[in-house]
Amino acid sequence: EDQVTQSPEALRLQEGESSSLNCSYTVSGLRGLFWYRQDPGKGPEFLFTLYSAGEEKEKERLKATLTKKESFLHITAPKPEDSATYLCAVQGGRGDSWGKLQFGAGTQVVVTP
């Protein structure tokens, strides 16, 4: 069964204090690893898809990386508007996992001025 574990559960940062979020996963034949941002009371907003180990993607202050067992979301010099819950999900490519997203519980990030 596909599993996704995110850590830490919560992260409090000062503005400008860079940090990383971790997403550890097990999946049958990875089709993709996804990062989403979710603001309170809203639906998740798509950030990145990573397909293979070694791949990296960037968007503004966010950078996502992927290995065979985990992914990191690096937040560089965060601003208060980066406060949100960040969700990681994997999409399997074999058997019952095919095409389905398995989500982690998320990391709640609060950036204070």
Partner 1 sequence: SQTIHQWPATLVQPVGSPLSLECTVEGTSNPNLYWYRQAAGRGLQLLFYSVGIGQISSEVPQNLSASRPQDRQFILSSKKLLLSDSGFYLCAWSGGRNTIYFGEGSWLTVV
The 73-92 site mask, x for binding partner 1 (CB under 8 A), equals --------------x-x-x-
Q: Is residue 53 within the footprint of partner 1 (CB under 8 A)?
A: no
The smaller minimum CB distance to partner 1, of residues 13 and 50, is found at 50
Residue 60 one-letter amino acid: E
The count of residues interacting with partner 1 (CB under 8 A) is 23
Question: What are the distances in angstroms from CA 38 to CA 53, 71, 82, 84, 95?
Answer: 25, 18, 10, 6, 29
Contact 13, 19 (CB under 8 A): yes
Determine the distance from the C-alpha atom of residue 54 to the mean position of all C-alpha atoms in its chain, rounded to a whole number. Answer: 15
Cβ-based nearer residue to partner 1, 13 or 89: 89
Q: List contacts with partner 1 (CB under 8 A).
A: 4, 31-32, 34, 36, 41-46, 49, 87, 89, 91, 99-106
